[in-house]
């Protein structure tokens, strides 16, 4: 993809060949929305591999009525296929066994996966967040012991950051880690931990120094989930599932080798973890696909010619396209070595509110059928849209609520004074 700074544009394909100037705080980046021949060839490579490897029985979660056990096995198998295909190290440097793909190539890969609605992977948090963090900041023992097992799916990690009394204030965590006889003893509670009930280990934060400043005195630990001092309780969701869990730590033991970095490095390592989070074009491709499915639903339900419905779907299409441009802006910054800034709040606010509106439109298109529970035998498309609507209610809350994102945008992007 042609990303240049006051320089001649690279050759590109004719598709999406549009340019515009993009202010990025201290500089202006010129964005050419075309892709180079090499990037288009890579896209075709991904598509060819998907045609041969995408599970034939897979359909998007919520469509087809997969039971949790079935979906778990599909995701486990899909992770194995991706690992054996070399895709899970796509952006890693060659010296770490990766392909050294550029941010653009990584975005193309994510976009193509989203385009076909590929399954998720069972060990997503370990693969996308923990493994690259260990490569960057872990000890040699940690790299040798965990990285390949994380990628292959042999070892599943969950994340233990959020706590019930801390809200959105991650630095306000209260879980304690005390050193005794060469081991760290952990006591406290974590919540909203995805997949903790089937995870082998957790990467979590605990306070190693109770008198230090909030962002200091925090350790980053790799905790065995299959020990007496760890209890997992699943949280019942309104979707009927129980993906999220609470973790209770009552004297859980952690070997010194499973402390990443120094006892006070936890906050710095956590920020590294967050830096590996992905979104952008993959989410944009998913939303564009959902809009197309929403239009098909309207036609099937006989409301495709209704003026109000057509306007709502057209608005969703416009918003999905704008979100793709937002993703390209973030990609431009990454290509030029800019770290993610407060504009990440714009992205989170935009997509979560947009998806909520899209799902509400879908429920309206279904008419009276929209009031049925997802598991109802009469639900349209096996309750897929009801399931999506329920999830969308949480999207404007988790990972920083819309209210928090608006405050960040107001203070850090627009320069408005902090409210009292």
The DSSP secondary-structure symbol of 178 reads: E
Contact 149, 155 (CB under 8 A): yes
Contact 219, 266 (CB under 8 A): yes
Distance CA(310)–CA(325), nearest Å, equals 23
- Residues annotated as part of the active site: 277
Contact 385, 366 (CB under 8 A): yes
Neighbours of 360 (CB within 10 A): 16
Long-range CB contacts (< 8 A, 24+ apart) of 249-253?
A: 249/175, 249/186, 249/187, 249/188, 249/189, 249/190, 249/223, 250/187, 251/185, 251/186, 251/187, 252/185, 252/186, 252/187, 252/223, 252/224, 252/227, 253/183, 253/184, 253/185, 253/186, 253/224, 253/227, 253/229
Contact 362, 298 (CB under 8 A): no
Strands 183-194 vs 244-255: parallel, antiparallel or unpaired? antiparallel
């Amino acid at each position: 993809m042609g990303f240049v700074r006051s320089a001649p544009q690279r050759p590109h394909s004719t598709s999406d060949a549009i340019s515009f100037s993009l202010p990025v705080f201290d500089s202006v980046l010129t964005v050419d929305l075309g892709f180079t021949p090499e990037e288009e060839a890579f896209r075709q490579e991904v598509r060819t591999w998907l045609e041969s490897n995408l599970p034939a029985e897979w359909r998007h979660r919520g469509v087809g009525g997969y039971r949790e056990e079935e979906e778990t096995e599909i995701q486990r198998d899909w992770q194995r296929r991706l690992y054996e295909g070399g895709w899970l190290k796509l952006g890693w440097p060659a010296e770490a066994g990766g392909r050294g793909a550029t941010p653009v190539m990584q975005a193309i890969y994510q976009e193509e996966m989203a385009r076909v609605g590929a399954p998720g992977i069972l060990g997503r948090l370990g693969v996308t967040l923990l493994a690259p963090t260990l490569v960057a900041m872990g000890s040699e023992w940690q790299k040798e012991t965990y990285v390949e097992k994380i990628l292959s799916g042999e070892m599943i990690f969950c994340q233990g950051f959020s706590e019930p009394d801390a809200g959105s204030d991650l630095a306000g965590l209260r879980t304690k880690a005390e050193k005794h006889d060469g081991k760290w003893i952990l006591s406290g509670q974590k919540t909203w931990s995805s997949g903790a009930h089937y995870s082998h280990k957790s990467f979590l934060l605990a306070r190693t120094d109770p008198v230090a400043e909030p962002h200091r005195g925090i350790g980053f630990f790799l905790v065995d989930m299959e020990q007496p001092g760890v209890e997992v309780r699943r949280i019942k969701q309104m979707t009927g599932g129980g993906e999220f869990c609470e973790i209770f730590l009552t004297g859980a033991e952690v070997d010194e080798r499973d402390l990443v970095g120094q006892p006070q490095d936890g906050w710095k390592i956590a920020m590294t973890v967050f830096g590996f989070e992905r979104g952008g074009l993959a989410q944009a491709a998913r939303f564009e696909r959902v809009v197309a499915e929403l239009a098909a639903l309207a036609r099937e339900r006989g409301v495709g010619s209704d003026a109000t419905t057509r306007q709502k779907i057209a608005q969703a299409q416009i918003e999905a396209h704008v979100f793709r441009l937002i993703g390209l802006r973030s990609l431009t910054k990454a290509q030029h070595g800019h770290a993610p800034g407060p504009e990440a709040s714009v992205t989170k606010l935009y997509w979560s509110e947009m998806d909520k509106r899209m799902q509400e439109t879908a429920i309206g298109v279904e008419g009276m059928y929209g009031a049925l529970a997802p598991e109802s035998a009469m639900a349209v498309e096996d309750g897929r849209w009801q399931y999506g609507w329920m999830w969308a209610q949480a999207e404007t809350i988790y990972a920083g609520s819309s209210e928090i994102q608006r405050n960040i945008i107001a203070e850090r992007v627009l320069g408005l004074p902090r409210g009292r």
